[in-house]
Amino acid sequence: MLQIKNLSVEFANENSSTPAVCDLSFNMKANHITALVGESGSGKSATAFSILGLLPNTAKLSGEILYTENSKTTNLLALSQQEIKALRGGKIAMVFQEPMTALNPLMTCGQQVMEAIRIHQPTTKKQAQEKTRILFNQVELPQPEIIFNKYPHQLSGGQLQRVMIAMAIANGPRLLIADEPTTALDATVQKSILHLLKKLKEQQQLSILLISHDLGLVKAYADEVVVMYKGKMVEMGDCQQVLTSPQHTYTQALLQCKPSPEKKGQRLPTLNELMQASDQQSNPLTKSYPTKAIDRSAPILELKNLTVEFPWKKNWWGKTTTVHKVVNEVNAFIYRNEAVGLVGESGCGKTTLGKTILQLIRPSSGSILLHGQPIDAKNQTPDNTDLHKIQMVFQDPYGSLNPTLSIGEAIAEPIRKHLRLNKAGAKDKVAELLGQVGLNADHYHRYPHQFSGGQRQRISIARALAQEPSFLVFDESVSALDMSMQAQILNLIMELRIKYGFSCLFITHDLNVAQYLCDSIWVMQSGKIVETGSAEDVFRSPQAAYTRQMIEAMPVWK
């Protein structure tokens, strides 16, 4: 149905060009799921965007992408913009990685799907509305009549992804490209989204190109797999065979650097180390991190009946008549030297709880104690506050860094504010922090857009450490990173915990990461903590039905 023949993509710079895809060839069968895997920068998305004609003008393409329908074969690279637009969204559709970015924030979800329908099909507004409601039912959105009139920011990540899928299948495509469709979703929502795609594949005879760095998901859902490394295909074949008995050293390395309970307390090998070890026919460096006993004499952080309510319904006069409890009477402790993993499905209140601890969201009732003392942003002045002792590393490092400030200035700003250092002293401290997170002091004057995603996450960690906190909140800090970069950041967090001795709350949807990194686990459902315990006990003998459901939804990648 689709043949990619000797595809090469390079991006022109001022005086040179950068290759992204090099002489790539593979075929996609009808009604099959073909997975494209590899680390960030391996050329996966460039390949997908080439099929749809979405690459910028700086891209130079060669080779052929042959699309066959009704015995007629068309080279997509030879089509004009008008011709490719007729196929795009019609016969070939795409589900993007970030639905919040891909969807128009000024249009309701229903309007956006209707627009896609009316561009490709001669329908009236009423017919498009009816078809959109049918599609929302088909992708199993709850209360489709209500969601039709909701804006993207009013939906959860899983719901947004379903809206994207509804838009993608609206015109009955033959090929669906899913670019990291479940990266930021929890295990249960991941499973439901992939089940949905597989169900739609069978119902509509779809072919799906699944781009992912999650090898567990690929093994569970794909028929064939293509492994890419530095723009080249290094291995291809039956998914189960390739991921069970990989032949290429790069595929083997991808599997080895994934965090797992068996590697708890050990340094994770990175892709570069594994590849170099393979070239030199040696074993990569493995070491165990020294353990620090958890000090349970007194909690470093205590949550007492913590509740956060958001307005849900208002009357004609704007008065709130119904509230939604996002965090519902949470009571919990975190001790010195302890890493607690907070897990639960999208919308359960994990991020809200993390932001409330930092006073970025005001609690409706209850209290937060740090070192036995209540913290309350309302009653503390900027010059007399303990809030800087709690810091957060956000999920999106680019969004959390000021694009107009160099990274050196971004890190120096809180140092001068809270540590009272002069400009020279702050600059020296920044250089020290950059070195500790694996960056160069020469990076001081560079801006966030000049770094990769993994480097930006290191910068965010350095900025959080700048104020010498005793407690950190990591909010999905490795969820959008590929296996190799994830291993590097997890190693960095382990090393910094040993060096600085901070406690942390690690919010994640990846249960493998939670088991590897954390001492204790909190399981959150509908704003409540439904189960707590050591990581080993919670995952080996879960007591709550909800915990068992999440563990069963984890993809088996071994």
pLDDT at 357: 93
Q: How many DSSP H helices and E strands does the chain contain?
A: 21, 20
Does one domain contain both 328 and 195?
no
Domain check: are 214 and 323 in the same one? Answer: no
Give the Cα-Cα-Cα angle 376, 380, 382 (nearest 5 degrees).
Answer: 125
Tell me: do 331 and 391 sit in the same domain: yes
For CA atoms 389, 394, 399, 404, give the dihedral sign: positive
CA distance 214 to 424: 44
By CB neighbour count within 10 A (0-12 exposed, 13-18 middle, 19+ buried), where does 163 fall? buried
In a domain, 291, yes or no: no
Q: Which amino acid is at 474?
A: F
Which positions ≥6 away from 88 have C-beta within 8 Å? 52, 53, 54
For residue 496, being part of any structural domain is answered with yes
Q: Which residues pair with 9 in a beta bridge?
A: 21, 61
Lowest mean pLDDT among 255-264, 269-278, 322-331, 373-382: 373-382
What's the pLDDT score for residue 281?
60
Q: How confident is the model at residue 48 (pLDDT cuts 50, 70, 90)?
A: very high
Per-residue pLDDT at 184: 64
The residue among 149 and 283 whose pLDDT is bigger is 149
Specify whether 242 is located in the same domain as 326: no
CATH code at position 344: 3.40.50.300
Predicted confidence (pLDDT) per residue in 397-429, tens digit? 877 889 999 999 999 998 888 777 888 888 999
With 50 as the cut, is the pLDDT of residue 382 above it? no
Short-list 527, 517, 493, CA closest to 264: 517
Q: What is the mean pLDDT of residues 509-524?
A: 91
How sure is the predictor about 383, in pLDDT bands with cuts at 50, 70 and 90? very low
Are 228 and 368 in a shared domain?
Answer: no
Q: Assess if residue 430 is contained within a domain.
A: yes
- Higher-pLDDT residue of 524 and 260 is 524
Pick 342 or 476 by higher pLDDT: 342
Question: Do 529 and 426 share a structural domain?
Answer: yes
Burial of 313 (0-12, 13-18, 19+ CB in 10 A): exposed
Domain boundary among 229, 250, 271: 250
% residues pLDDT > 70 (the chain):
95
Residues 6+ apart with CB under 8 A from 497: 292, 337, 339, 504
Q: What is the pLDDT of residue 384?
A: 45
Does the structure show a pLDDT above 90 at 268? no
Q: Give yes or no for residue 555 having a pLDDT over 60.
A: yes
The number of folded domains in the chain is 2
- Residue 227, SS3 per DSSP: strand
Tell me: the pLDDT tens digits for 291-309?
788 989 889 999 999 999 9
Q: Of 208, 224, 250, which closes a domain?
A: 250
Query: In the 3-class helix/strand/coil scheme, how is 331-352 assigned residue by residue?
Result: EEEEEECCEEEEECCCCCCHHH
Q: What is the mean pLDDT of residues 329-344?
A: 94
Same-domain check for residues 336 and 196:
no
Q: Looking at the structure, do residues 203 and 321 belong to the same domain, yes or no?
A: no
Q: 175-179 and 207-211 as β-strands: parallel, antiparallel, unpaired?
A: parallel
Phi, psi of 164 (to 5 degrees): -60, -40
Answer for the pair 151, 166: CB distance below 8 angstroms, yes or no: no
Residue 287 lies in a domain: no
* Residue 225 Cα distances to 26, 272, 390, angstroms: 10, 22, 43
**Tens-place pLDDT, residues 317-326:** 878 778 888 9
Neighbour count for residue 223 (Cβ, 10 Å): 18
Count of residues making up the chain: 558
Q: Which of these three, 250, 280, 314, is where a domain ends?
A: 250
Asked if the structure places residue 315 within a domain, the reply is yes
CA dihedral sign, ordered 162, 168, 169, 174: negative
- pTM reported for the whole predicted model: 0.79
* Confidence band of 386 (pLDDT split at 50, 70, 90): low
- Is 533 within a domain? yes
In a domain, 273, yes or no: no
Backbone φ, ψ for residue 277 (5° rounding): -60, -35
Give the H/E segment covering residue 554.
none
Enclosing domain of residue 486: 300-553
Asked if residue 305 and residue 244 are part of one domain, the reply reads: no
Greater model confidence, 186 or 374 = 374
Q: Mean pLDDT in the chain?
A: 87
196 & 335 share domain: no
Task: Write the DSSP assignment of 14-44 as a string of letters.
Answer: SS-EEEEEEEEEEEE-TT-EEEEE-STTSSH
Specify whether 182 is located in the same domain as 323: no
Phi-psi region of 396 (alpha: psi -120 to 50; beta: other; left: phi over 0): beta
Q: Let me know if residue 282 belongs to a domain.
A: no
- 103 and 246 fall within a common domain: yes
List for the chain the helix, strand, coil content (%; round to 5): 40, 25, 30
Residue 401: name the closest of 393, 539, 314 by CA.
393
Q: What would the mean pLDDT of 23-46 be, rounded to a whole number?
A: 90
